[in-house]
A = this chain, B = another copy of it.
C-alpha cells in the first residue's frame, strides 16, 4: 500500500487525519491512501507564486522549452513503470495506459518544439504594431507577458498522466508555476510522474506543486493574477466558476466539461466501403478505449435512416469481439470503469437513455470479467442504444454517460438535419463528419462549427492516416462552448494565452521598439 504525499513548498508532505483509499478497479483491492487534511494551501500557493513564478520568469522561452523537453523525456523513460501503475489504479488496458502516458510525453514534446520557435525572449509580440495617429511616431502594439500568479490545475480521473502534462506544458512554457491536483481516485500515476520530475530536478524550485487528495480550501486562496483550469463534470465546473474567490478576484477559469460528441455518417458512404469502415472503427474505438471514459468519446451516432439497421449490425458484430475484464490479463481489450461511483453513474445513465431508446447491445446487467473475480470490479458491458425518433429534448441530447455507451439515431440524410441534431447537444468538444461529398461536408461542418471546439472530417482519401476524433492533438484547440464548459486548451501557441496577459503598449514607436 502506497501513501501518496503532496508536494508543496519544495517538500513532500502528508495530510493528517483519516486518509482516503484508492483501489484497483478490477479487483477492488486497496492500493494507496491519501490525505490533505491540515495542509497549508495558502502558503503553498504563495510559495508557487513567489518562488516558482520568479524562477520561471527568469527563464526565456527557449530555456523553458528545454525544461519541458526534459520532462517529456523523463516520463518516456519511465513508461513501463507508469503503464503498470495505470493498469493497477486506473483499470487501463496496456493500450489505454499508453494512450494516456504517451499523450503526456507527446504533448510536452510538442510544446518543447513550439518553444524552439519562440526564441530567447520572455514576452511575445501579438501581430504587427500599428500607427495610431496621423504621424508614424504614435504607435500601438500588443505584447504577451507571463501573469504573475499561479495556475491551479484540477484534473479528471480518466487521464492522470496526460491531464497533468498537457496543462503543465502550456503553463510552464508561458512562465507560470503550477499547482496540480489529479482526481483522487486514480492519483497514483500522477503522483509517480511528479516524483520522477522532482527526483530528476528538471524544474526550478516552486514551479510545480502537487496535491494528493481533496482540494480542501485551496481555491479560497486564489487571487487576481491566478488561473484555474478544471477538467471534469460540468456541475463541478459550474461550482468552481461560481466560487467566491473566482468571482471576486475575476480569476481566469477554464473548464472542460461534459460533451455529447457526435459522429455523422454522410449519405454518400457506401455500406461496405472504406469510409463506412473508418466510421465503424472510430465509433467502436471511442466507445471502448479507456472504457469510454474520454471527454472526447463519441456518444451520439447519426446515420441516414435507411442505413441504421445495417450500421447497428456492424457495430454489434464489432462490440461482440470486445473482451471485458481485468486488464492485467493480456487478452482483455476493455477494463472496468474507474470507480464504484462511475459504475453506478453509468448504469443510471443507461437507464436514462433507455427512456427514449432501446438497448441493442450490452446493458446494465453485471458481467463476468475475464481474468477477474465474479462480483468484484467495476465492469460494464459496451452498450449500444438505438433511438428511433430523436428529439432535442431527449436524454441522449442532454445527459452524458461517461462509459462505454453510445446511442445510434437516424437523420434524413441532409446536412441540415444532421447539423440540427448535432447542435442539440448544447455545445461539445468535438464532433465528426464522415463523407466525401464536398457540399455535404461544407454545409455540415460550417453549421456545427459554432457548437464545437473541433470538428473532424473522415473521408476516403485519408483512410489509414486519419487521427480519430477522440484523440486530442496539441496543435489544435481542445475545449468547446456551452455544455462543454466554454474552455480552450492547447492549440499550439494559442494555449499560452490563458496563462499570459495581453497588454497594449502605446507611445513613441522608436522608444517601444527599443525593448520589444
Contact = CB atoms under 8 A, between A and B. Distances in A.
B242 A508 contact: no
Interface in A385-440: 423, 426-427, 436, 438
A504 B467 contact: no
Contact of A123 (B247, B446, B467): B446
Given A224-B483, A467-B133, A514 B449 contact: no
A465 interface: yes
A143 interface: yes
Contacts of A501: 449-453, 481
Contacts of A466: 138, 507
Interface in A476-516: 476-477, 481-488, 491-492, 494, 501-508, 510-512, 514-515
Interface in A228-269: 234, 237-239, 241-242, 247-252, 255, 257
Given A491-B504, A511-B457, A484 B250 contact: yes
Nearest to A226: B482
Given A251-B486, A475-B132, A505 B449 contact: yes
Contact of A138 (B123, B134, B465, B484): B465
A142 interface: yes
Contacts of A436: 511
A462 interface: yes
A341 interface: no
Nearest to A490: B504
A481 B147 contact: yes
A60 interface: no
Nearest to A488: B502
Given A137-B465, A250-B481, A465-B133, A458 B504 contact: no
Contacts of A234: 248, 250
A2 B481 CA distance: 42
Nearest to A123: B446
Contacts of A137: 461-462, 465
A449 B145 contact: yes
A130 interface: yes
B238 A248 contact: yes
Nearest to A506: B456
A33 interface: no
Interface string A125-141: 01000101111011010
Sorting the interface of chain A by its residue count into under 10, 10 to 19, 20 to 34 or 35 or more gives 35 or more
Contacts of A426: 224
A452 B191 CA distance: 36
A331 to B, nearest CB: 31
B225 A482 contact: yes
Contacts of A456: 505-507
A459 interface: yes
A241 B502 CA distance: 21
Nearest to A501: B450
Nearest to A487: B250
Nearest to A57: B450
A251 B255 CA distance: 12
Nearest to A452: B503
A442 B449 CA distance: 42
B441 A515 contact: yes
7 contacts: A137-B461, A140-B475, A224-B481, A225-B481, A238-B250, A242-B247, A250-B483
Given A249-B483, A449-B501, 4 more contacts: A133-B465, A143-B449, A459-B507, A481-B501
